[in-house]
Chain A
Amino acid sequence: MNAYIMTDGNNRLEEHQTIAVRTKYKSDHLFETSKSKAIENLLSSIKKPSLTTKYGMVGILSKMRETFISNCEKSFIQKIINAGHRLDGRGYNESRKLNIAFGSEYGSCFVSLGDTKVLAQVSCEVVQPKQIRPNEGILYINVEISPMAAPHFETNRQSDLNVYLNRLIEKCYKDSKCIDLESLCIVVEEKVWSLRVDIKILNHDGNLIEAASIATLTSLAHFKRPDVTRNGDKIVIHTLAEKDPIPTVLYHYPVCLTFAIFGEILLTDPSFIEESVCMCTAEEGNSGGGLLVVGVNQYKELCLLDLNGAAIDSPNIVHKAIISATERGKTVVEYIKKLIITDDNNRQKRVKINFADIITNNHIQSLARKDLSICLKNYNVNDVKTEDVEEMEDEEVVKEISKYDVVKSHPHTAEVKLKTGTSAWIEISSESDEG
């Protein structure tokens, strides 16, 4: 086993300890005793500075929390989590629904995780390489948070959260060397491709890190740069019509997953209120609370560990987090890969793909809330409607699509065709209604 630690070069973020590690494990025997020792060593390196000062590690996230959480919300959330529930009816280990959509161009994607929504776009240009790395391309990551995400963010001002997100994603994607930067070189010391990932947070409902990292990864994996040919000293950049564009080479697919720590309890994919309550308790110095970010790739390798909040008492929590992160990381990466392949096939068939699909897909359900912010475990939005199917012609009826794709209903009413996924209103004339 070879584990090496890349600590923060200039220690800019002192109050906030991060290590980026890339360790090799055999997938299934993740934490055999001998191997877990290495993790414990890593952990002790995280823990040492934080234990000296009580509030040492509470820094960045505490400043960003500007929406005020009342005492009764805090105590209620604490109580229900200790009792084994979560506000939105999820289990401890359950994530919100992940949705990924692609835009019309290569490298643009939209990721939603519950109500957290993120847009990412990769663009490229030819630039001169850095002096120290003359044969490597450049990866630049830029995260933007505007008041659109949540009202307490300001325009044109880099908030701490902004810097934190930017740095974390940079660490996850640059420092874990998942992109083959050398393949981005055109002429050594003269011309290389510079990839720029722009991440725009559209809505903030907790767990920005996970949503932003999934968006980054998806857009990078989806992106294709124009082909280049060298003709003597001249370099010709071909348009997409002339030559097929080249996909970016990714050695591995890392994703960051967030866990909220409530004492001994780990919550996967915390929502906004859970995140806030978690950081509040850490600030007040009560029980251990904090946000743990775990970066893993599809080979169940650890790429990043980041703790924000109070110090962790036992290494068991981190072990548990890493084990569940490897599981989820794998499924997320597989999902992303599958989507990219289907999207690629669709593009070859010249199917039109754009963000309009996100809107029309759920058109008929626009009045049914899928994600209730407060929900019982067994509650299902559709349960209400099944009881009176006879009188209502809603999507429940539409499910039994006849061979004509038109569903029997009252004369002169509009109906929905579900085959294409988009909604279409069809006028039924009185003749066709007979059949």
Chain B
Amino acid sequence: MNLSIGDVVLPGDRCDEISKIAVKSKVLIGPGLRRESDNVYITKPGILKKRNPNTFWVDSYQKRYIPSRGENIIGTVIQKAGDIFRVDVGGSCPAALSYLSFEGATKKNRPEVQIGDVIYAKMLVASKDMEPELVCVDSHGKKGRLGVLTDGFVFKSSLSLIRKILNPSCPLIDSLKKEWPFEIAAGMNGRIWIKANSMRETIAVGNAILAAEYLSDEDIKSMCNNVASILAGHLS
């Protein structure tokens, strides 16, 4: 069976198209694909996607986070151990966050991080055999938007939902931000931090995000209207 881009694929399927292109030029294969000698096989159920030039991956539903370098994640500090914090990111083992990797932190000037704090950080080291490592600064030593997130609420979702709402073409955040003000941080590890003026508004944001998982773009807009009207009290 020939697989084409946009098809639903299952583990074990062989993708001849990729190996054909690979003969002529360089091909990048992403998650859900694996090369076995000259063939490329699917390893995850999902939708086969392609990005020019020659990057392939499988878009699948997943809840378990596998750390990968450069991703922004949200974690909870679970332990202070010497000069590092251990942060639970939802992966197979906790990630390490050095207290020096905060903006303006020195050996004498420690950042104020307590156990149980929620942290928005960047994955610096993510390899199969080592403990993942996080940083809260960019390469210029500035914190940007990274750091400790105070107040608000954190909830979990599937990894595919995070990718969906972070996609610039997704209307969810655009239509929600017109309705009422709120802050949001979405970690690629399937955690979302939200903060709004009132608790009801915070719940409404969470509700809208989770409800968007299986909706099309048009439905997302009407769902956002719906949530907004419930919040305003028109519907009861």
Contact = CB atoms under 8 A, between A and B. Distances in A.
B199 A76 contact: yes
Listed from nearest, the 9 A-B pairs whose CB atoms lie closest are A374-B206, A71-B116, A76-B153, A70-B76, A367-B214, A384-B223, A80-B199, A70-B118, A378-B230
Interface string A66-87: 0011111111100110010101
Nearest to A73: B154
14 contacts: A68-B88, A72-B193, A74-B116, A76-B199, A76-B202, A80-B199, A80-B203, A373-B210, A374-B203, A374-B206, A374-B210, A376-B204, A383-B223, A385-B219
A87 B203 contact: yes
Nearest to B152: A72
A166 B127 CA distance: 42
B155 A373 contact: yes
Interface string B191-218: 0010000011011101100110111001
Q: Interface size class for chain A?
A: 20 to 34
A376 B118 contact: no
Given A68-B78, A72-B118, A367-B214, A378 B203 contact: no
B125 interface: no
Contacts of B202: 76
A407 B208 CA distance: 31
Interface of A: 68-76, 79-80, 83, 85, 87, 89, 367-369, 372-376, 378-379, 381, 383-385, 387-388
Interface of B: 76, 78, 88, 114, 116-118, 149-155, 193, 199-200, 202-204, 206-207, 210-211, 213-215, 218-219, 222-223, 226-227, 230-231, 235-236
Given A70-B154, A72-B149, A73-B154, A376 B203 contact: yes
A71 B200 contact: no
Nearest to B219: A384
Looking at A69, A375, A379, A388, which has the most chain B CB atoms within 10 Å of its CB?
Answer: A379
A206 B149 CA distance: 27
Nearest to A76: B153
Given A70-B118, A369-B211, 7 more contacts: A68-B78, A68-B88, A83-B199, A369-B214, A378-B235, A379-B230, A388-B222
